[in-house]
């Protein structure tokens, strides 16, 4: 099934929060919810207002993938919050979101992107 990638809009909050928790639970890398998740409770203020981006990927109208882009310094940006719902993984949906974020980074004039992940998230490392 094709994926539609679009910018986050108000009203996506609950679906994004659910996706975040489902995707992390499936990796064994979920430390539980805490203050480290504050950015997901204020996506507009944390990502959009400072000139970054937060994209969601929809299949049949359901948010199944997401990812964010934030400028760190000068021409350096960071890809954050890459998630794909477990039952939709290995279908290229995360790659589609990543390509869209890379395109936006280029439009922002960013020439270097960083992506951090945990040791146990082998699929993300690939």
* pLDDT per residue as tens digits for the range 65-84: 999 999 999 899 999 999 99
**Which segments within the chain are labelled E, that is strand?**
4-7, 53-59, 62-73, 76-84, 112-115
pLDDT band at 123 (very low <50, low <70, confident <90, very high): low
- Nearest-CA neighbor of 109 among 67, 78, 71? 71
This prediction has a pTM of 0.89
Judge whether 35 and 51 are in contact, CB under 8 Å: no
Could you read off the pLDDT of 39-66 as tens digits, one per residue? 999 999 999 998 999 999 999 999 999 9
């Amino acid at each position: 099934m094709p994926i539609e990638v679009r910018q986050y809009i108000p009203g996506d909050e609950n679906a994004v929060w659910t996706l975040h928790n489902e995707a992390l639970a499936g990796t064994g890398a979920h430390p539980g919810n805490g203050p480290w998740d504050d950015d997901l409770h204020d996506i507009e203020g944390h990502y959009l207002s400072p000139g970054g981006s937060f994209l969601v990927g929809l299949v049949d109208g359901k948010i199944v993938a997401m990812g964010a882009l934030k400028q760190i310094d000068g021409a350096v940006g960071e890809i954050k919050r890459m998630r794909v719902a477990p039952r939709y993984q290995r279908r290229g949906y995360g790659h589609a979101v990543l390509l869209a974020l890379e395109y936006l980074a280029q439009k922002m004039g960013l020439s270097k992107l960083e992506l951090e992940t945990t040791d146990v998230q082998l699929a993300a490392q690939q």
